[in-house]
Structure 1
Amino acid sequence: MSIIVGTNDPTLSDHLKAFIQTSDALIVGIIGEGSSRELTSLWESPFENDTPGSMFSKAAGLVQAGALEGLGVEGGRTSKGTLNTTQVWSGTTPHTFNLVLELYAISDAYNQVQAAFIELEKAAAPELNGVTPGGRIPQEVALNAGRQIIYPECVITNVSRQLDGPISRDGYPLRGSVTLQLQTMTTVNQSDIPGTFG
């Protein structure tokens, strides 16, 4: 059974909290300002340089520049058409979450702040062997943001936390924020998106 760390403040609605489940712990934090969900589709113009004039680019350039007007060739013309600007889909990146988690101690600075920082960094780090191959890659995590966004298979690609802030007598932070970037393991199909909203 995994431990629960972070700020699971009972006075706040679960809709304001993010829950990140790792193999070792359930990390709970308050969703901070600037948190976002991002989906990027990749489009490109593969025909941009494929024109009848591309084989004779210097001649096409001379025509466009009007250098051949003395020979009866009208300037200001191009060999490009709207087909050259057609966008072609080349893929969609996995969903990306830029998540700001606010943590603060209600009664236990270690478990409610420090341990959450530790568990998040553990989830983003590998466990490599000293000499031989075969170590463990960073683990997958499950994300539940505000009981509204649910993804069972994500990876943490970045963890950044503040080092300043108030400290307890034991030397643990009393509050702090951590900024995470998470990505789904795969691109999510259109038909699957409604199911990611709780």
Structure 2
Amino acid sequence: MARTVGVTHQDGVSPFLKCRISQDFGGALGEVTVTGYLTEQCEMELRSVWESPFAQDTIGDTAKGAKPAAIGQTYSENTTRTLWNSQQTWEGTEPPELTMTIKLIARNNAKQEVNAPIMYLLMMASPELLNSIPVDVESSELGVDWDPSAMSLNLSNIGSDKPVFNSGFSVSGVKTGRIPAIAMFEIGGRIMLPMRISSVSYDVNAPKTPTGDFAYNTVTITAAPKRMFNRSDIPKYFS
């Protein structure tokens, strides 16, 4: 059963000024959507890594020539460095990182409009781990099987919470935990991105109602996709 918390669509504020964050928790809780107001602190950064591998490749920087070259430059004000030393090579592009602050305001129900959204955002960023070793000591069998025919590669699962590669291995007698799941971000009704939340922060001393719930609060979220995007991937995330 789907559940929506946070600011409502009945507040008269344009959906272009809101952010919706959804994640499927499974079980009885089902899919939960948190809606908050966008603030001015909302930035997306795409960063490519460029390095200068030739920065030290000069005649004067060889092991035996470094000191004499430095002395020579000091007195002559000449150098063996060239423009080639500043040549950069591309080392990759990092996944785009989102840093945003959303505002939650209580109008009718502070628990559902402010407290619950903060709780669910913290849950979206958290794993579900075991309390002890991942071996079921009550299991009579513990083994690893491999079925080569079960190996498969599903590229359509890239960017989702589903496995991209099935190795064909199966393990019996072992229990495992779950890493933080992907959340779907809908930002201003225009940007749609599946991302993993890496940090959630909020004001624990924000003003409260007579019942002890937050009257309003701001939540800062940092998130990023699992992988970088190709140039051809980017348009499909902008509606």
Q: TM-score surpassing 0.5? A: yes
Alignment of 1:34-73 (within 5 A): 34-55=41-62, 56-66=65-75
Counterpart check, 1:27 vs 2:34: yes
- Alpha-carbon separation, structure 2, partners of 1:12 and 1:61: 65
Deviations along 1:165-193, one digit per CA (max 9) or x if unpaired, are 32223211121110000111110111112
1:137, 1:185 → 2: CA distance? 12
Q: Deviations over 1:12-49 (max 9, x none)?
A: 11100001011131010000121111111111111100
- Over the matched positions of the two proteins, sequence identity in percent amounts to 32
Question: In 1, Cα distance between the equivalents of 2:222 and 2:198?
Answer: 6
Ranges in structure 2 where 5+ consecutive residues have no aligned partner: 26-31, 135-175
Cα deviation, 1:141-198, whole Å, max 9, x if unaligned, reads 01110011111x2000110001223222321112111000011111011111222211
Structure-1 residue corresponding to 2:3: 3
State the distance in 2 between where 1:132 and 1:32 align: 43
Please list every run of at least 4 consecutive aligned residues from structure 1 whose deviation after the TM superposition is greater than 2 angstroms.
none
- C-alpha displacement of 1:52: 1.9
Aligned mates of 2:57, 2:191 — CA distance in 1: 43
How many pairs align?
A: 189
Helix, strand or coil for the counterpart of 1:127? coil
The residue correspondences of 1:52-131 to structure 2 (distance < 5 A) are 52-55=59-62, 56-66=65-75, 75-131=76-132
Following superposition, the deviation at residue 9 of structure 1 comes to 4.2
The one-letter code matched in structure 2 to 1:89 is W
Unpaired segments of 5 or more residues in structure 1? 67-74
Q: Deviations over 1:65-103 (max 9, x none)?
A: 12xxxxxxxx11111100100111111111111111100
**CA root-mean-square deviation:** 1.2
Aligned partner of 2:218 in structure 1 is 177
1:197 maps to 2:238: yes
> Separation in 2 of the partners of 1:83 and 1:35?
39
Measure, in 1, the Cα distance between the counterparts of 2:8 and 2:224.
24
